[in-house]
Amino acid sequence: MRPLSQAQFLMWLGQQLNPTAPLYNMIQTFRIAGEVNRPVFAAAWQALVDRSDALRTTIHLVDEKPWQAVAAAMAAPVEWLDLSFEPDPEAAYAAWLETRKVRLLALDERLWDCVLIKMGPADFLWYLNQHHLITDGQAFANTYRYMAEFYALAQADKLAEVPALPQYGDYLAYEAAHRRSQAWQEARAYWLEKLDTEVAPTDFYGRVAGETTGRTDRVPFAVGRERSARLRDIAMAEGFASLNIDMSLYTIWATLLLTTMHRLGGQNQLRLGTPFQARPTPAFKETIGLFIEIGPLQVAIEPEETFVSLGEQVMGEMFSGLLNAQAGISDAELNRSYDVLLNYVNARFADFAGLPVQTDWVHTGYGDSDHLLRLQITDFDDEGEFLLHFDLNAELF
C-alpha cells in the first residue's frame, strides 16, 4: 500500500462526496480508419497494463483513510462489441454510449474500462474510460501513444521488445519529499496569499448560483480553421508572444474569457481556475498518472484596461503560476476559490500504428459542483481548428 498524491486525494474526496455520480470518468474514444486485429489489440493492452503501475492501481480504505495498491499482475480484459451487423451502427453506438459512459468505476477493483468496437469493415472504435485518479490530459496522450507503439510491436510479433515505462510511484516519492522543502513552502505561501483578495462569485447575466450539484451540460463550438489560424497569428505577434505557442494561446483564451466575465457582470476582481501540468522532469512527462495541479489566476481590471494590457496581466500570472505550480500544491480551499475554470489542452493524438484516427472527448454530464463554467479547448487531432467545450452547470444555466 502507498499513500495517495495530493491531487489524487482531492479526486478521491470529490468522488466520496458524490458517490453515485461519474464525476471523474475521463473518457476518450478513438475512431480508427482501418482493420484492427482484435487479439493483437488485446495483447498490446495487456502489455501496457503490465508495464504501468498507474493502470494496475486500486484504491482501498484502511482505518478510514484511502491508500492505493499496485497489483503485481492484473488481467486486462478488452471488451469486444460488434455493431457492424446492426441496421444502424451509429445509432446503436450512441445508445450504448449513453449507458456506458455513466457506469461507475469500482475504485477497489479496476480504474479503467477498455472496449474495442467494430463499427463496420475497416472501421473500429476504441473506447477508453480512466478514472481521474490515474490520469490527466498528458497521461491520456501518453497512454494512447504507448498503446499505438505496443500494437505495432505486437503486429510484428515483437511484444517482448516493449520497453520499461516510467512509474508513477517515482513521482509519489518525489512529491512526498518535495512537500518538506523550503521551495514548496514558498510556493504554498504564494497561492494562499491570493485568497486574501476577496473575489465575488461570478455573475452570469445577473444570475448567481445558489447550491449546485455536479450536473453539467456540454455545449461544443467549433471555432473554424480561418479564425483558429488568425488566433495563432496573434499568438506569435508582439504583445502576446511568449515562451511557446501554447502559452501564448492560453494567454489569449484566458484574456477573452476574463473579458467576457467582466462584461457579463461588471466585476473588476476576477479569478480563473488554471490547470498546470506540474511534470518537472523528462521522465515525469512520459509517465501515465495524475500530475495536474490547479491554481487560481487572478486579475484586477482597471477603468483604462485594454485587451493587450489585460493580456499582459494574464501572462504575468501565468509565469508566476508556472514557477509555483509545484508537486502537491493543490488543496480544497484553493479549489473553492474560483467558479470558472479554463483548460487549454495541448495534447495531440497521432495515427494509431499508421491508421488515421479521429478523437472524441466524451462528456458524462457531470463535473465539479463548484464550477459554474468550465471552458475546455482542444485540437486533439491537430487539424488546425480549435474546438471549445462549454461545460455549463445545469442548476445555473
Mean pLDDT estimate for the chain:
93
In this structure, what CATH number is given to the domain that contains residue 160? Answer: 3.30.559.10
Count structural domains, the chain. 2
Q: Is residue 283 domain-shared with residue 217, that is, in the same domain?
A: yes
**Band of pLDDT at residue 343, cut at 50, 70 and 90:** very high
Question: Which of 169, 190, 209 is the last residue in one of the domains?
Answer: 169
Q: pTM score, two decimals?
A: 0.93
In this structure, what CATH number is given to the domain that contains residue 365? Answer: 3.30.559.30
Question: Which of 138, 169, 200 is the last residue in one of the domains?
Answer: 169
Which residue, 166, 139, 132, is CA-closest to 289?
139
For position 342, what pLDDT does the model report? 96
**Band of pLDDT at residue 366, cut at 50, 70 and 90:** very high
Position 55 pLDDT exceeds 90: yes
Q: What share of the chain is helix, strand, coil (3-state, %, to 5)?
A: 35, 25, 40
Position 61 pLDDT exceeds 90: yes
Q: At what angle do helices 38-51 and 137-155 cross, to 10 degrees?
A: 130
Q: How does pLDDT run across 95-131, given as a tens digit for each residue?
A: 999 999 999 999 999 999 999 999 999 999 999 999 9
For position 161, what pLDDT does the model report? 86
Q: Is residue 116 domain-shared with residue 244, that is, in the same domain?
A: no
Position 306 pLDDT exceeds 80: yes
Q: Is residue 240 domain-shared with residue 144, that is, in the same domain?
A: no
Average pLDDT of the segment spanning 308-317 = 92
Q: Is residue 174 part of a domain?
A: no
Report percent pLDDT > 70 for the chain.
Answer: 99
Which residue, 62, 58, 59, is CA-closest to 72?
58
Chain centre to alpha carbon of residue 75: 26
For position 168, what pLDDT does the model report? 98
Q: Please write down the HEC assignment for all residues of 346-365.
A: CCCCCCECCECEEEEEECCC
Give SS3 for 31. strand
Q: Is residue 229 part of a domain?
A: yes
Q: Is residue 278 part of a domain?
A: yes
Q: Is the dihedral of CA 180, 186, 187, 188 positive or negative?
A: positive
Q: Is residue 125 domain-shared with residue 197, that is, in the same domain?
A: no
Q: How does pLDDT run across 75-98, given as a tens digit for each residue?
A: 999 999 999 999 999 999 999 999
Position 208 pLDDT exceeds 80: no
Q: CA 270 to CA 258: how far, in whole Å? A: 7
Q: Is residue 147 domain-shared with residue 201, that is, in the same domain?
A: no
Q: Is residue 163 domain-shared with residue 301, that is, in the same domain?
A: no
Q: How far is CA 199 from CA 336, 337, 340, in A?
A: 11, 8, 12
Q: Is residue 272 domain-shared with residue 319, that is, in the same domain?
A: yes
Q: Is residue 197 domain-shared with residue 137, that is, in the same domain?
A: no
For position 347, what pLDDT does the model report? 83
Position 207 pLDDT exceeds 80: no
Q: Is residue 371 part of a domain?
A: yes
Report percent pLDDT > 90 for the chain.
Answer: 79
Give the side-chain half-sphere CA count within 13 A for 55: 28
Q: Which amino acid is at 11?
A: M
Question: Which of 111, 134, 169 is the last residue in one of the domains?
Answer: 169
Q: Is residue 7 domain-shared with residue 66, that is, in the same domain?
A: yes
Q: CA 12 to CA 365: how far, in whole Å? A: 19
Which residues are CB-contacts of 389 (< 8 A; sequence separation ≥ 6)? 218, 219, 220, 361, 363, 374, 375, 376, 377, 378
Q: CA 389 to CA 374: how far, in whole Å? A: 8
Q: Is residue 198 part of a domain?
A: yes
Q: Is residue 283 domain-shared with residue 137, that is, in the same domain?
A: no
Q: Is residue 13 domain-shared with residue 158, that is, in the same domain?
A: yes
Q: Is residue 216 domain-shared with residue 135, that is, in the same domain?
A: no
Residue range(s) defining the domain that contains residue 53: 2-169
Q: Is residue 117 part of a domain?
A: yes
For position 144, what pLDDT does the model report? 97
Kindly provide the b/e burial profile for residues 138-157, where b requires at least 16 CB atoms within 10 angstroms of the residue's own CB: bbbbbbbbbbbebbebbbee
Q: How does pLDDT run across 127-177, given as a tens digit for each residue?
A: 999 999 999 999 999 999 999 999 999 999 999 888 899 999 999 999 999
Position 242 pLDDT exceeds 80: no
Average pLDDT of the segment spanning 261-269 = 90
Which residues are CB-contacts of 376 (< 8 A; sequence separation ≥ 6)? 343, 345, 361, 388, 389, 391
Q: Is residue 175 part of a domain?
A: no
